[in-house]
Amino acid sequence: MAQVSIERKENRFVQDLLSPSDRLLLSSTRDFVEQQIMPVRRELEESTYSDYKLVDEMQGKLLPLGLQGGFLPEEYGGMGLTSALTTALLAEEVGRGDASQFNSLAGGLLAMRPAIGAGNREVLERFAPRFTQEEEIYLGCFAAGEPGGGSDIENPDLRGTGIKTSAGLAGGSWVLNGAKAWAVNAGLAGVYCVVCTTDASLGDEGVALVYMEAPMQGFRFLGHEDKSGLRGSRQGGCEMADVRVPEAWRAAGPGRDAQLFRANQAFARIIAAGLAIGIAQGALDEVLAFTTDRMAAGKPIRQHTICASILADIAIGIQVGRDAYVSAAYQYDRPETYGEGHSTPILSRASAVKVFCCDAAIGATNRAMELMGSYGYVSDYYVEKYWRDAKALQLQEGGAHLARLDAVRGCYDFDQFHRNELYEHIRGGGST
């Protein structure tokens, strides 16, 4: 009888959905992760407590794979690697080794996607060559969150009214003022895509995605966050005081920029789901190896029925999560059939898989740690690192709760501002 396996390599269903070149890229990435990242996972993280030298070297080693600029259209020197499916599968591969390596790369991808979606030639011609050269690391930054909160920027119900960073036209330039927080690659990036508003009272019509190029006058980097997990990627804050950029560096225009922003959110959530499953797979590989060698009551730990049941729960989360994100990515990539990337059904599916896969990864790493006993909690093994990385993923992209609200919007007309006459009556001091 043929052996049934959840091994990634044997997932024929997924392989059949990919082009031959994407399959090749995935397999080279898998080899890279196996040979270059897995053996130095611990050292990579240690270097984040000093000079990030190893992290930067690893980013440099990734350059020949073409991931830095591969997401750009072929006419701009990229590989046309625009599909959510291939990107999420790549994220899973890298996530199994060190998710933060992909998180840093994704900064460029997410920064440039609005310009690609809008077909903004000025932005693409200016920045694409920086990403597609393979001599040096060139990072991008998608700056949405603000010091007052990230969710109010991302919450579709608020329709851009929560954005404080302003963009105003003056003398043929956009003039940016405000502050951003928690943006990956802030202070390191060459290009920033900044989520602004031209006038918050206009709602979605006021949302403006404006590009800035470092170094620039009026820009101040505020430092990086000291995180527990995903330490190899750096998130930080910045301030803009009258930063001027060319008028053509707005991604598209009124209304369309808000759509591109939502589509980017959906895309980012699918990628986060892929990363989460990579982390969970890494933890499963670790715990399977440990519980094979480690004995309890005369037999390997994994041969105890209760432990097999826990391993089954981990494996089920991975398998179902992988199938779910593959399905969401497949639909994202076919807007003519399933709806545009910014549409409610797509944002709902993307959010659902992000929530499910992050929860699965947190559960998997937590259970793996329990099966390894005290050794699950020490840095000699990698499960505790995966555990910290999984939690960080859950907190990004609107956090655990906003993503749930976005998921449920696909089921019914959830409206957090639902008119409630009873509340208004009570607030107004009336009695029932």
Ligand X SMILES: Cc1cc2nc3c(=O)[nH]c(=O)nc-3n(C[C@H](O)[C@H](O)[C@H](O)COP(=O)(O)OP(=O)(O)OC[C@H]3O[C@@H](n4cnc5c(N)ncnc54)[C@H](O)[C@@H]3O)c2cc1C
**Residues of the shown chain interacting with ligand X in the complex, contacts defined by CB under 6 A:** 107, 142-145, 149-151, 154-155, 182-184, 230, 235, 392, 395-402, 405, 416
Closer residue to ligand X in complex, CB, 100/132: 100
Calpha distance 374→129 (Å, rounded): 49
DSSP-derived letter for residue 302 is G
- Taking the complex as a whole, the smallest distance from the CB of residue 192 to ligand X amounts, in Å, to 10
**What is the identity of the amino acid at 364?**
A
How many other CB atoms are found less than 10 A from the CB of residue 116? Answer: 20
Helices and strands (H and E) in the chain: how many: 14, 9
Closer residue to ligand X in complex, CB, 22/146: 146
- Taking the complex as a whole, the smallest distance from the CB of residue 136 to ligand X amounts, in Å, to 21
Calpha distance 146→12 (Å, rounded): 42
Closer residue to ligand X in complex, CB, 415/421: 415
If you write DSSP's letter for every residue of 29-94 in order, what string do you get?
HHHHIIIIIGGGHHHHHHHTTTT-HHHHHHHHHHGGGTTTTTTS-GGGTS-----HHHHHHHHHHH
Closer residue to ligand X in complex, CB, 151/177: 151
- Taking the complex as a whole, the smallest distance from the CB of residue 91 to ligand X amounts, in Å, to 14
Please count the CA atoms within 13 angstroms of the CA of 167 that sit on its side-chain side. 29
Closer residue to ligand X in complex, CB, 22/397: 397
- Taking the complex as a whole, the smallest distance from the CB of residue 110 to ligand X amounts, in Å, to 7
Closer residue to ligand X in complex, CB, 151/173: 151
- Taking the complex as a whole, the smallest distance from the CB of residue 43 to ligand X amounts, in Å, to 21
Q: Which residues contact 96 (CB under 8 A, 6 or more apart)?
A: 33, 278, 279, 281, 282, 285
Distance of CA 402 to CAs 106, 134, 159, 265, Å?
A: 21, 38, 14, 12
Q: Which residue, chain included where needed, has tokens 């003022």?
A: 177
Closer residue to ligand X in complex, CB, 220/401: 401
Closer residue to ligand X in complex, CB, 310/355: 355
Closer residue to ligand X in complex, CB, 129/399: 399
Q: Which residues contact 334 (CB under 8 A, 6 or more apart)?
A: none
User: Which residue's Cβ lies closest to ligand X?
Assistant: 150
**What is the identity of the amino acid at 176?**
L
- Taking the complex as a whole, the smallest distance from the CB of residue 142 to ligand X amounts, in Å, to 5
- Taking the complex as a whole, the smallest distance from the CB of residue 432 to ligand X amounts, in Å, to 27
How many other CB atoms are found less than 10 A from the CB of residue 117? Answer: 22
Give the burial string for 125-145 (b: 16+ CB within 10 Å, else e). Answer: ebbbebbbeeeebbbbbbbbb
- Taking the complex as a whole, the smallest distance from the CB of residue 231 to ligand X amounts, in Å, to 10
DSSP-derived letter for residue 250 is B
- Taking the complex as a whole, the smallest distance from the CB of residue 193 to ligand X amounts, in Å, to 10
